[in-house]
Structure 1
Amino acid sequence: MEFLELFHLEINGPMVTVALILVLLALLKWYSISAFSSLEKLGIRHPKPLPFIGNMTFFRQGFWESHMKLIKTYGPLCGYYLGRQMYIVVYDPHMIKEVLVKNFSNFTNRMMSGMETKPVADSILFLRNKRWEEVRSVLTPAFSPKRLDEVIPLISQACDLLLTHLKPYAESGEAFDIQRCYGCYTLDVIASVAFGFQVDSQKTPDDPFVKHCRRFFKVSIPRFVVILILSFPSIMIPLARVLPNKNRDEVNAFLSKVIGTVIALRDKQAEEQRRRDFLQILLDARSSPSSVSTELLDNVRQDAQDGELPTHQITSNVQQKALTTDEIVGQAFIFLIAGYETITNTLSFVTYLLATNSECQEKLLREVDQFSERNAELKFSTLEEELPYLEMVIAETLRMYPPAFRFSQEARQRQPPFTYLPFGAGPRSCIGAKMAILEIKLTLLGILRKFKFETCSETQIPLQLKSRSALGPQNGVYIKIVPR
C-alpha cells in the first residue's frame, strides 16, 4: 500500500478489474502460442502456426492435397500443428523404416484424444502398455495362415453376393458406381467375419445392422466444435465427454448388444456347431490361456532374417490373459472402423486403375485364369505365393492412393506413400492388414474370373479425390463391367 501511495495510486474496483483483464490477456496470449515451439526445438520445418489453431487453415483443401503441398514445400521430414497437437510427417522410405521398425520401441502407445468411449476404448488401437501386449498376444494367432484359411469361406460367401449384384450391370452394359457396391460388400464381410452373422446390405438396406453401421459413419462434429476442442483440449474434451450424444450412444449400444447376443448363443452351442469367424477365434482364446510369443511388428521378423535387427528385439513372451467381453466388442468395432472405408476405397482405386490401364488388366486376367486352373480350393498360402502380379497391382494402388500406411517390398522400391504420425504414436495394430489384403485379393479374384472392367463416358479421368478420415474417390468410380 505504501508503495502505491508513492505514485499517488489508489486501489479501487475499476483498477482491479483492468489489472485482472490485463493479466488474463497476457495469460491468454501465452497460452495461444505456448505449444508451438516443439517442432522448432527438434529442427523440423513447418508452416508458421497461428495462435490457438496452429496450422488448421493450411488444411482447408483437405488432408491429401495439403500434405502433398506440405511435403513439397518443407521436405520429406516436416511437421504441423492441429490446435495444440504436434504432428510429424515422414515421407522418406528409409526414415519410415527407421521409425516404425528399427526404433518401434520408442513409439509405444498411440495418441489418445481423451474422447474415446467404450467399446472403442477397449480395442487394440487404444489399449496401453502391458494390456496392449496381452491383447496383442491373443490377436496375433488369430491372423495366422491357418486361422485366415478358416475365414476364407465366409469372405467368399459375401463375394458371391457381390457377383450376384454385379451381374445385372454386366448384362445391361450400363455404367454404374462400383464404389457403392464395394461399400455394401465390405459391410457384409465385416458383419460376417467380425460380428458373427450374415447380411445382404445391398438387398436389405433397412436391416438394423446396416442402418446402425451407416449411422456410425455419418457421425460428424461441427467444424467450430473441432476448432474449440483442438484449441482448448483441457476444457473442451472433459465437457464433450459428459455432454449427451444420442446418436453415438444408440449406435454403440446396438452393436454391443448384437455381439453380446451372438456371444451368448455361441456359449450354448457345441464346439462343432460354432461358426468359424474372427469373433469365435477370440472367444476360443478365453478358455485357453498360455504363454505366447508375440511379434510387435509384422515386418520385424523379416528384417531380422535379413540381418538388420538383433533377434532379441523381435519377440517377447507374454502371458496370455483372457479378453473381457468389452475387449472382444472393442476388437469387432475396430474391424468396422479400420476396415470399412479403407477396403472400400482400395477396391475402388484398383478397379479404376485396371479399367484405365487395359494392358495391365489383361496381364492380370491371364494370371487369374492360370491360378484358377491350378487351384480348386482357395488357401491363404496359395493366394500369397501364386498371384504375384495381383500383389503388385495392390501394392501399386496403395502407393498411388494410400488410404493408410502399409509396408510392402514393392512399395519400398518405389516412391513411398507418406505417413503422418502423432508424436509418440506407432502402427501397433498392423496385423489387420493381413485380413484387409486377403479380402481385396479374394474380391478381385472372384470378379475377374467372370468380368472385366471398362471405362465409359461417366468415368472421371483423372479421378477426383476427397480426403477426410481416409483418401477416397470424391464422386464414386463409374465404370462398365463386361462378361468374360
Structure 2
Amino acid sequence: MLDLLPFSPTWVLVGLLAVLAYLYLVWPYSTFKNLGIPGPKPVPLFGNYLSYGKGVGQFDKECYKKFNKVYGIFEGRQPILVVGDLELVKDITVKESNIFTNRRVFEGQGEILGNGITILKDADWKRVRSAISPTFSSGKLKQMAVVVGKCADNFVGNLDENAKQGAMFDLKELSGAYTMDVISGTAFGVDVDSLHDPNHPFVAHAKKLFDFNLFNPFVIVLFLFPQLAKVFERVGISLLPTKVLNFFCAAVDNVIDMRDSNEDEAKRVDFLQLMLKAHNKELDKDVPKDIVKHGVSKKEIKGNAVLFWVAGYETTANTISLTAYNLALNQEAQDRVIQEVDAIIEKRGKLDYEAVNEMHFLEMCVNETLRMFPAAQRFDRVCKEDAEVKGLHIPAGTIVNVPAYAIHYDEDIWPEPEKFKPERFSKEEKEARDPYAYLPFGAGPRNCVGMRLALMELKFALAKALQKVRFVTCDKTVIPVRIKNTLGNQIEGGMWLRVEART
C-alpha cells in the first residue's frame, strides 16, 4: 500500500511529525478565542513572550488600552487571562478569594522557597499566614521602630559624609545596606551593619539573587517549557541561585541554634521567634493530606525566614531610592516634606513610631512613587474551579493576572500619569477614587504580608534623612530613570544623586 504513495514513507512520516509538532505548539492558542476574549496574536512556541522585550509594563499598558482592560495573552503555550477592570479585580481578589486563593507557582525555585508563603496553597497558606501575621501588628511594629530608627541613623550618617564631600553616589547601594540591616535586626535579631561594610556577605548574596533578566536563556526555557523545571532541579539547576539560598538558609540555622542555646535570645519578639513558637514537630514528619494541621513545620520556618530576609531587601531599597529621586526632581514637594518633618519633630521632640505615622505628606510622596514604580508590576491568582465573575466565564486552572502597572497609568483614573503628583493621595482624592485603582502591594487576603513594615522603613529612612540633608540631582542622574525589564521596580544602573546639608 505504501508503494502507491507518490512520496517515500520516510517523508510521509516526517510531514506527519511536522504537522503534529505544529498542532502541539498552537493548540492552546484558541483558548481565549473560544471564550470570546480578545488579545494580541501569539507566535507559535513563544506566544506573546517576545513582546516583553519592550518592557512588561509597556506591553501591559498597550494591551490594557487596546483590548479594553480584559484580554488573553500567552507565555509560551501557557494561557494568561489579564484582568484590569476594577470591579473584576475586586471580585477576584476579595469577594471570590475562596476560588482564587492561590498564586501561580513558578517551578524551579528549589525546596527552600517551596515552603515559602508565596508558594504555599489553600489550607497550608492560611495556616502559615496566621503564624506570620502577628509580626506586623501595631504593637510589634512599635517595638521594631527602635531598631529601624538606629539603622536609619546609620543611613543618615553615610548621607552626611557624602554631603561634606559633595560626592555623587549610588543611593540604591546605601538603601540596600539600610534595608538589609533593618530586616536582619527586626526579624532575626542579627546585627549585620552593612552600612559600614557595603561588601558584607549578606548584601553581596542578596544582590546575586536579584540579578534576574526575563531574556536570560535559562529563564526563557523555563517559561516556554515549565515541565523541564523539575528535571533541572534534580541535577542541581534552579531558577534562583542555589548557593545564595543555601547561604541564607545556613544563616537562619545559625540564628535558630543561637535561640535554642540562649534563653535571653529566645525571649525576643520578632518574626523568627513567632515562627519558632508556632513550630509543630509533628509536621516535620509525613502528615496525611486529610489531617487538619496546626502550627508550622521546620521546613516552613526556614523557607519563610529565607524568603523574608531576601524579599525585604530589594523592593524597599528601590522604593527609598525612587522616592528620593522624585523629591530631587520636584524640589517644591521636597520643601513640603521638610517643613512637615520639622514641624512634627518640634511638636513631639523626637522622631519615633508615632511621629512618622503623622507625616501624611511624606506618605503621599511614598504612595505616589509606588504608583509610578510599583514593586510588582503584575500579580496573579489561579482559578480553582469554573467561575462566573461579572458575566466573565473563567475555567478552572486559569491563571489570572492583574496588571497593576497598567492600572496605575490609566489616564482616566490618574490624569497625567507620567507626572509625580503626591496630591493624588490626599484624603479627599483617595475617598473619591476606587480603592482597587492602587495596587502596589496586591489586594485581598493574599496581599503583601510585610506591607506595614516596609512603609515604616521607608518613612523612617526618608524622614531622618530630610532632617539633615536634601536630595539633588547630579551629572550622573539618569532622567527619566530606567527600570530593568523584570516584573518589579529594579533600577537600571543604580540611582546616582547628591545630597546637600540643610542650612
TM-score category (smaller protein) = 0.7 to 0.9
Distance apart, 1:15 and its partner CA: 4.9
Q: Tell me, yes or no, if the aligned pair for 1:120 and 1:330 is still in contact at 8 Å.
A: yes
Identity, in percent, stands at: 32
Q: d(CA) in 1 for partners of 2:293 and 2:151? A: 32
Aligned partner of 1:400 among 349, 365, 372: 372
Q: Which residue of 2 aligns with 1:387?
A: 359
What is the CA deviation profile of residues 222-256 of structure 1, one whole-angstrom value per residue up to 9, with x for unaligned ones?
A: 7333333333333x223222222398332222211
Matched residues in 1 for 2:460 and 2:262: separation?
30
Cα deviation 1:314-341 (Å, max 9, x = unaligned): xxxxx88222222112112222443322
How far residue 56 of structure 1 moved from its aligned partner, in angstroms, is: 1.3
Matched residue, 1:129: 122
| Matched residue, 1:338 | 311
Q: Is the 8 A contact 1:364 1:390 kept in 2?
A: yes
Question: 5+ residue gaps in structure 2?
Answer: 283-291, 379-403, 409-424
Q: For the residues of structure 1 that align with 2:316 and 2:202, how far apart are their CA atoms?
A: 19
**CA offset at residue 179 of structure 1?**
1.9
- Structure 1 residue 80 displacement after superposition: 1.5
Residue 416 (structure 2) aligns with: none
Which of 187, 197, 208 does residue 194 from structure 1 map onto? Answer: 187
- How many angstroms apart in 2 are the aligned matches of 1:460 and 1:223? 25
Distance 1:33 1:152 in 2: 54
Task: Kindly indicate whether residue 493 of structure 2 is the aligned counterpart of residue 464 of structure 1.
Answer: no
Change (3 A) 1:130 1:394: same
Per the alignment, residue 413 of structure 1 pairs with 433
Does the residue aligned with 1:481 lie in a helix, a strand or coil?
strand
Match of 1:260 among 250, 253, 265: 253
1:356 is aligned with what amino acid? L
- Indicate the larger mover: 185-194 or 440-449: 185-194
Match 1:322 to one of 274, 295, 302? 295
Contact kept? 2:260, 2:266, Cα under 8 Å:
no
**Is residue 203 of structure 2 the alignment partner of residue 210 of structure 1?**
yes
Written as runs of structure 1 = structure 2, the 5 A alignment for 1:147-296 is 147-218=140-211, 223-234=216-227, 236-245=228-237, 248-271=241-264, 274-286=267-279
What one-letter code is carried by the residue in structure 2 that aligns with 1:169?
N
* 1:64 matches 2:36: no
Aligned mates of 1:357, 1:92 — CA distance in 2: 32
User: Which residue number in structure 1 is paired with residue 471 of structure 2?
Assistant: 453
Instruction: Using the TM superposition, give the Cα deviation of residue 49 of structure 1 relative to its aligned residue in structure 2, in angstroms.
Output: 0.1
Q: Distance in 1 between matches of 2:440 and 2:333?
A: 27
Q: Is the 8 A contact 2:177 2:194 kept in 1?
A: yes
Q: Do the aligned residues in 2 keep the contact of 1:120 with 1:334 (CA within 8 Å)? A: yes
Deviations 1:270-326 (A, max 9, x none): 24774443222322333899xxxxxxxxxxxxxxxxxxxxxxxxxxxxx88222222
CA distance 1:77–1:419, shift in 2 (3 Å): farther
Q: Which stretches in structure 1 are left out of the alignment for 5+ residues?
A: 290-318
Cα distance in 2 for partners of 1:437, 1:93 equals 24
> Structure 1 residue 30: deviation in Å?
1.1
In the alignment, residue 369 of structure 2 is paired with which amino acid? Answer: T
CA contact (8 A) 1:110 1:426 kept: no
Cα drift, residue 449 of structure 1: 1.6
Q: Is the 8 A contact 2:249 2:302 kept in 1?
A: yes
Residues 145, 380 of structure 1: 8 Å contact kept: no
Q: Could you tell me how far apart the structure 2 residues matched to 1:412 and 1:480 are?
A: 37
1:426–1:110 distance in 2 versus 1, CA, 3 Å: farther
The residue aligned with 2:25 is: 32
Q: How far apart, CA to CA, are the structure 1 residues paired with 2:82 and 2:189?
A: 38
Task: Supply the distance in 2 between the matched residues of 1:177 and 1:380 (Cα, whole angstroms).
Answer: 28
CA pair 411-430 structure 1, distance change in 2 beyond 3 A: farther
1:348 aligns with 2:341: no
Quote the residue 1:314 is aligned against: none
Match of 2:419 in 1: none
Residue 304 of structure 1 aligns with which residue? none
Post-superposition shift, 1:120? 0.5
Rounded Cα–Cα distance in structure 2 between residues aligned with 1:361 and 1:420: 25
Please list the CA deviations of residues 155-199 of structure 1 after superposition, one character each: whole Å capped at 9, or x if unmatched.
222212211211111112223221221122222222223343111
Cα distance, 1:94 vs structure 2: 3.9
TM-score between the two structures when normalised by the length of structure 1:
0.82
1:77-105 per-residue CA deviation (whole Å, 9 max, x = no partner) reads: 23321112222333344443232222222
In structure 2, do the counterparts of structure 1 residues 411 and 332 end up closer, same or farther at CA, with 3 Å as the change threshold?
farther
Determine the C-alpha separation between the residues in 2 that align with 1:63 and 1:444.
29
